[in-house]
Structure 1
Amino acid sequence: MRLAQWVGGAVLAACMSTAAFAAPPPGHAGNPVFPGWYADPEAAIFDHQYWIYPTTSLKYAQQTGFDAFSSPDLVHWTKHSSVLAMKDIPWAKKALWAPALVEKGGKYYFFFAANDIQNDNEVGGIGVAVADKPDGPFRDLLGKPLIDKFHNGAQPIDQFVFHDDDGTYYMIYGGWKHANIVKLRPDFTGVEPMADGTTFKEITPAPEYVEGPLMFKRNGKYYFMWSEGGWTGPDYCVAYAIGDSPTGPFKRIGKILEQDPKIATGAGHHSVFHVAEDDSWYIVYHRHPLGDTDGNHRVTSIDEMHFDKDGHILPVKMTNEGVTAKPLR
């Protein structure tokens, strides 16, 4: 497995504009945090390391695998190439994207979307792979998709796995303006009914919902976040709601991340890092460089995320300098 390390966006990618990868100020990560066209970043903390698992943002025919990136401090990033490849997923034939990662029992589980199915007659949907280490290599767990049908109008894509305080693992997913929540079996080999007997429960929070759901819990409240707008365009953005349970009900509160004409456009499909030691939060997201109209030209960035005294998420200030070092050891 090839490894490469750099400080934030200080290394220029030969195929990209220097404007997209300008050197950050001393002590800052810089945005984007690593070179390359990467989108839909999944953020995780494993073994005192920050990890980002993004989609390789290329044309569908070229989205045949995933790279991962690790850091001890949010500033210095190491690339781990091809941690999961299409050749190791027997049913995947077209386009891999939108990773979601969890660790359980010393194993690492990698959920992903594949094949961009348009109806129930096509093969594809949401799959899961497993590895012994966070940098893989990951191998398909089931030999088939975990979810391969449309339920409640939701295309089976853009999954996020949420581990609740009672030990339950939920998966929130869905494109085409519908979001579902399901309860995962303890071994992640399928889904099972929830307490009310529902297996695929729709929790679409608002008409503006499009895709990219995420959930976390803070001070006893469940935060449901998602992306709105078109992923190739400048208006892509992130909004959120708050509820009292993982199944809601949820009512949209408002946007917290959107384009800035001085920084970047199309900011969305995000994840978060939470450092419990001091309750600090970081939003990890993709965005389009200014002036670039190619929908696949997306880069991964990190900025701070803050809450007000009532627990509402404050609007995120996008930056070019990025965050400062936050070691986990």
Structure 2
Amino acid sequence: MLAGTSFLKGEARVADGEGQEPLLLEDIRIHDPWILPDPESRTYHFYTSSRDPRTRRSGVKSYRSKDLKHWTGPISVFEIPDGIWAEPTHGAWAPEVHRHKDRFYLFVTLHNQDAVLSEPPDVWRKNHLRGTVVAVADSPEGPFELLKPDGPHPPRDFMTLDGTLHIDAGGKPWMVYCHEWIQKIDGTVEAIRLKDDLSDTIGAPIHLFKGSDAPWLNASLQPDTKQLSYVTDGCELYRTRDGSLVMLWSSYRNGSYVETQARSTSGKLEGPWEQLDPLVDGDSGHGMIFDTFDGGKMLVVHRPFGKPTTRAKLYDIEDAGDRFRIVRPRGDLDGDGRAAIVGGR
């Protein structure tokens, strides 16, 4: 949920000393990581936020790799256009790219800090317009074009972020997103139906769960003052080998960012959702799972949460049927196997 690195227009589109090819993963500062494997080219595409250091305009960039260790790029795949609801200099968070019906769809959270929203009485921080948009391209390298320039896909008066794509058992598309703790105090995960072409929404949102539903989070955060809140970040949904519907999401445990998971006891998006133990701690989170070209599965998270030292961390991960389990850290690929592991192996 934080802006990433930047690029220079018309040049190599790099910043922070990056751009010497090939790059190692440990050399690239990345927040809210997303990796898309493209089987046709056997290429991994790594997406993160960008900001032009001269104009301060935000967008999305990507890196490419054949082996998850050596990376080329970055290239610009999306720039926030002028004349839309979002302010181009206010950031682009948590980009992710999904292949859907032979096209590529970018989900990314945009902002307009000048468009102030009404605030509940207990909120102590300014609420402003924030939400996930969808853009489309014919290639994973873009350029991505915005589908709905007049507002985010979730309701405009909701302060939301980290929207992702979920296709239900009936083939219907949904956006699942996090409703900000800044507005809700007890942050939630919600979902809203999408049109078949993902250009807009259908109907009203549904509530999935709230941050305080996680028992391990309740143990460390007690809502006795308005400053103590429950964060929900980085929701991602997966259907496991036994048909279970499992969601990855992130929050805080004892003041440290964690990657955790929940399971729908009905197997449906509507839930109810059962909270499971965290997967990874050590100030790590906002993860996603992708398939590797050798038939395995990997989890990528960022660690630590804060800039400028945040990097991508990789783990081999096991589909255990009703949940996911960490197998081992891949320090051979990311240059650092130190991130702590919690939960069952």
- Into which bin does the TM-score normalised by the smaller protein fall? 0.7 to 0.9
1:256 aligns to 2:256 (yes or no) = no
Letter in 2 for 1:302: L
User: Within 2, Cα distance between the matches of 1:188 and 1:224?
Assistant: 21
Question: 1:157 is matched with which residue?
Answer: 161
Q: Which moved more, 1:267-276 or 1:81-90?
A: 81-90
Match of 2:117 in 1: 119
Q: Which one-letter code corresponds to 2:256 in the other structure?
A: D
Correspondence for 1:214: 236
Residue 332 of structure 2 is matched in structure 1 by 321
Whether contact under 8 Å (1:273, 1:281) holds in the other structure is yes
Question: How has the CA–CA distance of structure 1 residues 296 and 242 changed in structure 2, closer, same or farther, with 3 Å as cutoff?
Answer: same
> TM-score normalised to the size of structure 1?
0.73
Residues 38-47 or 111-120, more deviating: 111-120
2:79 maps to 1:67: no
Contact 2:130–2:152 (Cα < 8 Å) also in 1: no
Deviation at 1:114, TM superposition (A): 0.9
Other-structure match for 2:177: 173
CA shift for structure 1 position 107: 2.5
Contact 1:112 1:128 in 2 (8 A): yes
Distance 1:218 1:116, change over 3 A: farther
Structure 2 unaligned spans of 5+: 1-9, 119-126, 182-186, 218-230, 336-345
Aligned mates of 1:96, 1:192 — CA distance in 2:
25
- TM-score normalized by structure 2? 0.70
Displacement of 1:133 in angstroms is 1.2
3-state SS of 1:314 partner: strand
How many residue pairs were aligned? 281
Provide the rounded CA distance (Å) in 2 between the counterparts of 1:82 and 1:237.
30
Give the letter aligned to residue 62 of structure 2.
A
Q: Percent identity?
A: 20
The equivalent position to 1:81 in structure 2, one of 48, 58, 75, is 75
- The CA RMSD over aligned residues, in Å, is 3.5
- Conservation of the 8 A alpha-carbon contact between 2:250 and 2:258: yes
Q: Distance in 2 between matches of 1:170 and 1:155?
A: 18
Q: Is the partner of 2:256 in helix, strand or coil?
A: coil
The 3 A distance-change label for structure 1 pair 311 and 276 is: farther
Deviation digits for residues 176-198 of structure 1 (CA, Å, limit 9, x no counterpart): 221101111111121113xxxxx
Question: Are 2:239 and 1:229 aligned?
Answer: no
Tell me which of the two structures has the higher relative contact order, counting C-alpha pairs closer than 8 angstroms and 6 or more residues apart.
Answer: 1
Deviations 1:21-63 (A, max 9, x none): xxxxxxxx99x7253321101222233432221234999x957
Distance change >3 Å, CA 114–CA 323, structure 1 → 2: closer
Give the structure 2 partner of residue 201 of structure 1. 206
Change (3 A) 1:62 1:229: farther
Which of 299, 302, 306 is the equivalent residue of 1:283? 299
Equivalent residue for 2:286?
Answer: 269
